[in-house]
Structure 1
Amino acid sequence: MNGFEKRAEQLKAKIRAAVLTMLQTCEPKHIRIADIAAEAGVSQVTIYNYFGSKEDLIRDVFKQYVTEQVTEFERFIGSGPTFQQFVQFAVLTDKDAFRKFTPEFIQQMMSNDLAFAAYIDEVTQQTALPLMTRFIDDCKKQGQISDKVSTDMIVNYINLLMAQSHRLLEQAKQSGKGEQFFEELLHLFFYGVCGMEPEV
């Protein structure tokens, strides 16, 4: 990468970081290119040159976030975690997403942006679920997950939750306790209503 390319990537990173910060408190429709430019310390022309439009920029930011999370998930699974460690990882990941993006924004991206929704589905089906399936199989072999529930059923349950993601996001918002909502949801998923967390 030459000096010009390096400078361009640095500017793009500043712009993405500015948008990510703004999305924590603002809906996309309330964010203006002028506000992004001021936050990032760049000109509006620079933003248009690199990203084309506000919509394309916001999509790029969210897509990069998802890609980074998938990469981190791959790294984490590759480290050979226990089931308990995986639950903790999942809780922290959901909390991080809830802090960075409002439920309305996530709903909008998944409902109104067909290209982005297709990207999420592709990442889920080709990367996340295969990794999850192998992890579940390993945990079952090690006695960390009950043999009474098949891997296919667990994956089907995950797909069921994903299909209801919009409703779950709305309920998380209405609860006023978004992070706690997802923590309880994950506990319910992994340990059931009567199940107890294994001792560490």
Structure 2
Amino acid sequence: MTIYNYFGSKEALLKEVFKDYIDQSISEFEEYMNKDISVKEKIELIILQKREANKQKFALTVIKEVMIEDSEIMDYVKRQYDEKIIPLMLQMIEEGHRTGEISPKITAESFLIFMNMIIEHSKTLGEAFEKNRQFTEEMLHIFFYGLCGRP
């Protein structure tokens, strides 16, 4: 009965818990992105960010289901991404250009597209990263130096 007094329904409670989860994740990301560390370290976090899936409150499948089924949640996540994550990524790219850690040939748009490709495949990559440290090192090398580049 208390749930209904505060939230109106179990679904409304789930939405609030989900929004809180998203807000906490973004706060952690903001905190890390504002640390005084190299751009390379920040990018490694993004790539290797398994999001401690085993420790999190939600399984990725539940998150996807909630987002697909609920346009309000989908809009909330998109708004948070556009208003908070994208500006942090753009700030990091600018910093990388300024410090020489990111090539001036790389535009913010191409960097964001590339990062989105990696994020889209994060589940597959995360499983491979966990199984094989050598694979992790190779993928990070490809990301930072390309197929033919050198550190």
TM-score (norm 1): 0.57
Counterpart check, 1:191 vs 2:148: no
Counterpart check, 1:79 vs 2:25: no
Can you give the 5+ residue segments of structure 1 that lack an aligned partner in the other structure? 1-44
- Deviations along 1:72-121, one digit per CA (max 9) or x if unpaired, are 22222222321232134325643324642223212102211101111111
- Which of structures 1 and 2 has the bigger CA Rg? 1
Aligned AA (1:191): F
Native 8 Å contact 1:110 1:117 kept in 2? yes
How big is the alpha-carbon RMSD for the aligned residues of Structure 1 and Structure 2? Answer: 3.4
Match of residue 31 from structure 1? none
Q: In 2, distance between residues paired with 1:86 and 1:176?
A: 17
Shift, 1:195, TM fit = 7.2
Counterpart check, 1:48 vs 2:48: no
With over 3 angstroms needed to count, the CA separation of the structure-2 counterparts of 1:67 and 1:51, relative to structure 1, is same
Q: In 2, distance between residues paired with 1:188 and 1:90?
A: 15
Match of residue 155 from structure 1? 112
Native 8 Å contact 1:87 1:190 kept in 2? no
With over 3 angstroms needed to count, the CA separation of the structure-2 counterparts of 1:61 and 1:97, relative to structure 1, is farther
Match of residue 78 from structure 2? 121
SS in 2 for 1:95: coil
Match of residue 62 from structure 1? 18
Aligned AA (2:76): Y
Native 8 Å contact 1:140 1:146 kept in 2? yes
Match of residue 127 from structure 2? 177
Q: In 2, distance between residues paired with 1:193 and 1:97?
A: 29
Match of residue 112 from structure 1? 69
Shift, 1:177, TM fit = 3.1
Shift, 1:194, TM fit = 2.8
Shift, 1:197, TM fit = 9.4
Counterpart check, 1:94 vs 2:44: no
Identity value in percent: 26
